[in-house]
């Protein structure tokens, strides 16, 4: 707020005429930025799953530059036109892939939550750390775990640290899509509005 106000050569308090709080400001900015997430590949003939991965990759790329927005998006789901267009496009791609509607509806949540979280994770990490020794901490912890009481960690070994963030991201999304498509809902999950208690 204060930084934006300074940029606008005014006091922070003036902004509260246009916006109720920081969350609302973030929502507006984010929806604006999402205009860049180009939905189509209209002309391109690629498998629907590839389109989803491409779109979510681009969504993640936007949030990666503004971890603060990713944080807001995680807590308060955006609801601007560009966000809705994104959701709509993803839903249509899932349906195109013959994912049952009920699963597509809940699957969207999973996909966007994943993309947002990954952006928040890597974005703030980039923002704070010197980019390096963070991963090292976990790496050494895992190494030490190998001489410890953690047989499965020991057994998996380097698999746990393998891959680049990019390849991990792609595999994660493919796993999500597979799971969404293949996991039917139970009878007792069908009903009602979502409440507030998780």
Partner DNA sequence: ACCTGAACACCGTTCAAGT
Q: Cβ distance 94 to 49 under 8 Å?
A: no
Region binding DNA by CB under 7 A among candidate stretches 2-10, 80-88, 166-174, 189-197: 2-10
Which x/- pattern, by CB under 8 A, does the window 103-122 give for its own copies?
xxxxxxxx--xx-xxx-xxx
Of the pair 53, 73, the CB lying nearest DNA is at: 73
Distance separating alpha carbons of residues 194 and 198, to the nearest angstrom: 9
Which helix (H) or strand (E) segment holds residue 165: the answer is: helix 165-182
**What is the SS3 assignment for 130?**
coil
* Positions of E strands within 16-112: none
Q: Cβ of residue 112: shortest distance to its own copies, in angstroms? A: 11
Least Cβ distance, residue 45 to its own copies (angstroms): 20
Give the residue from 161, 165, 166 showing the smallest Cα distance to 137. Answer: 161
Q: Are 35 and 82 in contact (CB under 8 A)?
A: yes
| Least distance in angstroms from the C-beta of 4 to its own copies | 20
- Considering the rule CB under 8 A, would residue 169 count as an interface residue with its own copies? yes
Q: In the complex with DNA, which residue's Cβ is closer, 21 or 96? A: 21
Minimum CB separation of residue 179 from its own copies in Å reads: 3
At a CB cut-off of 8 Å and minimum separation 6, what does 140 contact?
none
What character string, x for contact with DNA (CB under 7 A) and - otherwise, covers 9-28?
A: xxxxxx-xxx--xxx-----
Structure-token match 């190998």, residue found? 146
Residue 186 as a binder of its own copies (CB under 8 A): the answer is: yes
Number of residues lying near its own copies (CB under 8 A) = 91
The yes or no reply on residue 178 touching its own copies (CB under 8 A) is yes
Q: Which does 7 bind (CB under 5 to 8 A by kind): DNA, its own copies, none?
A: none
SS3 191: coil
- Interatomic CA distance for residues 37 and 87, integer angstroms: 12
Where in 39-98 is the site for DNA (CB under 7 A)? none
């Amino acid at each position: 707020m204060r930084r934006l106000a300074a940029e606008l050569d005014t006091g922070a308090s003036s902004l509260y005429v246009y916006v109720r709080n920081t969350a609302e400001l973030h929502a507006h900015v984010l929806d604006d930025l999402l205009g860049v997430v180009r939905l189509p590949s209209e002309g391109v003939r690629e498998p629907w799953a590839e389109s989803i991965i491409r779109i979510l990759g681009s969504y993640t790329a936007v949030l990666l530059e503004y971890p603060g927005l990713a944080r807001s998006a995680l807590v308060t789901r955006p609801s601007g036109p560009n966000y809705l267009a994104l959701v709509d496009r993803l839903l249509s791609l899932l349906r195109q892939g013959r994912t049952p509607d009920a699963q597509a509806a809940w699957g969207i949540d999973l996909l966007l939550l994943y993309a947002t979280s990954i952006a928040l994770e890597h974005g703030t990490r980039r923002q704070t750390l010197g980019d390096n020794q963070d991963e090292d901490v976990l790496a050494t912890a895992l190494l030490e775990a190998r001489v410890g009481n953690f047989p499965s960690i020991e057994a998996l070994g380097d698999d746990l640290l393998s891959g680049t963030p990019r390849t991990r991201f792609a595999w994660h999304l493919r796993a999500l899509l597979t799971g969404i498509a293949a996991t039917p809902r139970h009878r007792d999950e069908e009903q009602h509005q979502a409440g507030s208690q998780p």
